[in-house]
Structure 1
Amino acid sequence: MTIGMRAIGCLAAAALLATTGCSGDSDDAEAQDQKVEINVFWWGGEKRADLTEQALALYTARHPNVTFKTHWQGNQGYYDNLATQAAGPDGPDLFQIDDNYLTEYAERNVTLDLTPYTTSGALDLGKLPDSLAKYGQVGGRQVGVAGAENTPAMVYNRTLVRQLNLREPTVGMTYEQLFDWATEITQATDGRVAGTMDPSADYKALWLWLRAQGKELYAGSQMGFTAADLTTWFQMWQTARDSGAAPAPAVIKEANGGDVTKQLVATGRAATSFMWSNQLPELQGTTKDELALVSYPGDPKGQWARASMYWSAFRGTRHPEVVVDVMNFLVNDPEAGKILGTERGLSPNTDVRKVVGESLTDPTARATIDFENAITPRFGAAPAPPPKGHAKIRSLLTTAAESVQLGKKSPKQAAEAFLSEANGTLAT
């Protein structure tokens, strides 16, 4: 992302110039009388674009003086384009961002500080789970608002489990219990289906495992755990592979990239996959077997209400009050919530989520909402959003885990190498 990183520096400078040059010039005070055009930018597919534009059209129907200029694209190259656009004269007033870059954009003063608007009530976060609202804060400032809520979930093949007359996995089961259960599946299918995917390369799984032990993935600008911790994590999954609970390394590698169509619960290579809860409908579309959700193993207090993505405002926008009102509308309006549905994840507003749930006819989408509503009360407090360099850390973890899976390094060697490189990445 070198192009994007250079552009972010220009973007920050542009934000400062725009804020200085436009102080007192903003026409938001006269927004009821003057025409206002808000530039909105997000990533996603055609379905997301259609639903987002429908919701924005509803806002315009209620506020005829406000119109929108929308831009959207696929995830690849999104942040390069976002940074470049925001550095120019027609940067996006409102844009989608995730926790890979939220901290970096906030620390470079690219994002508008939303704290005064949450304090005044112009941006109402009262119906968001507390941990979800706080997960949009960086350095004590509210810099993003969850566009949707999501949480990690272990997706399992319910049809297969019932055919084998085995118990279904439960919330709070330990990893040792998961391995015992998974070994039964592997044995009962004569190795045709492994009991569980090996998520040792999955930062989500590692993070939740650490949090259940009172530790974090990050501690400021350093990793929040030791090489000994990571060695234990890698060894645990090596044992699972050796016992047959998890499949062979070549099979695991197929799914490490995160592609939904290559997940082992979708391809039939394993009875579980470690995913995001809102991916259940997409996964279900890949198989005739019934899939179901349960939390990752361990105490659910390790999980938190996580933003699948945020809405943030550009610090240099000429219309901050209008932009904030649009954000408030997208998050809190029931009719907007019904339009947006679950495409980005579940509505962050728990009241709106109930309305959306009642309007859904797809049983798989309803199952996602039911799971999220049932597990949310058991969540722990949210950590700080990941620091700058999170995307690189995720890649380094995959490399380290695969080096163990493929037998190239021991768990201890891979853990020590990862910590050294990861801490160096965060320090730059």
Structure 2
Amino acid sequence: MREPASTMTTTTPGAPGSGPDTATASGGPLAGLRVLETGSLIAGPFCAQLLGDFGAEVIKLEDPGAGDPMREWGHRHPSGHSLSWPVIARNKKSVTCNLRRREGQEILRGLAEHADVLVENFRPGTMERWGCGYADLSRVNPGLIMTRVTGYGQTGPYAGRAGFGAIGEAMGGIRYLTGEPGRPTSRIGVSLGDSLAGTFAALGTVMAVVNRQRTGVGQVVDSAIYEAVLALMEASLPEWELAGFQRERSGSTLPGVAPSNVYPSRDGAEVLIAGNRDTVFRRLAEALGRTDWLDDERFATHTARGAHGAELDGQIAAITATRDSEELLDALHEAGVPAGLAYRSEDMLRDPHFAARQAIVRLTHPALGPFPMQNVVPRLSGTPGRVAALGPELGEHTDEVLSAVLGTAPERLHELRAQGIV
């Protein structure tokens, strides 16, 4: 049985968790953990990105022809360079490997023998058809953790369906609640379902690693997009089954929660104010010069404010519309009322709080120069993660990884490349 990476005291070529890696060198809490990533697009790769952020060595296997489609998807720089790839593939090594060929599957099995975690987001059954299912791989590496990210999970009547994040968001319930009343359901402008499934997959992976420290045995982590979305749905299920209440689309508000909305300012900015809690509402009323609200039975309690939210919003908007946003926000912050603007990227890049906490990090892109992206979350005081490298070129680390981990000779690498395997 392979020794768990967390207890290893030495690293030798070919041993789990060994091999040159800039992310591992950062000393993050997952340093020494070797992760194979065979996924594509966002859900699986985001899981591996999170693990790499905290020091894991992430070896990403890509098709030798085009690589991960994320190299081409998303908005591109005028020069043609992807602006998505450097983020989703940060802290990773790229190894080309044609998994649809027997020789490529042999490479995957060999790498899995020397890995701690394998992340994949193929349709269920694909890895098994390749002889790379968990039963196959765990026979030679009982400590292996296989993290599987799919639309519907590994079991159940829908498991075999193709599943993208948009469908998981709909099935998980969040799409029905997103948008304006009386209008078709909407979506937010990022791949929420994919990222949620990747986040829960990373959490499950770390829990499986902790369990392996005690038992020496790996397991399967099964993260379904629709279930990751469902996990955010608060009390919507008992509300329906036990009280017959169905939440509906409510635009910029939450039913029964007021004031918590977007309000106009004199200079045209939209100011978000969240003053629904009793103590906060008192401070809001004082800051806006409307202490009479505190004695008004329509607004005196949380429940009453929720029932008369539209009336209260109208009165607040009449006041905020007479003040410039900066003046208004200063007064609200001074009073201890949660308030702010809906930030765009340009707002984040110039905000002093973002700068002070280094929430945005810049690395040097070989063609584009300083390249900004979100920093590692969450922050650990003793073993913080870091962004060590932008997404690599296709196959940039193929020779390095296969020779160091599998002992593949240069001559054999040349043969594999000539055959289109790598």
Provide TM-score, normalisation by structure 1: 0.22
Higher relative contact order (CA 8 A, sep 6+): 1
More helix, by proportion: 1
Larger Rg: 2
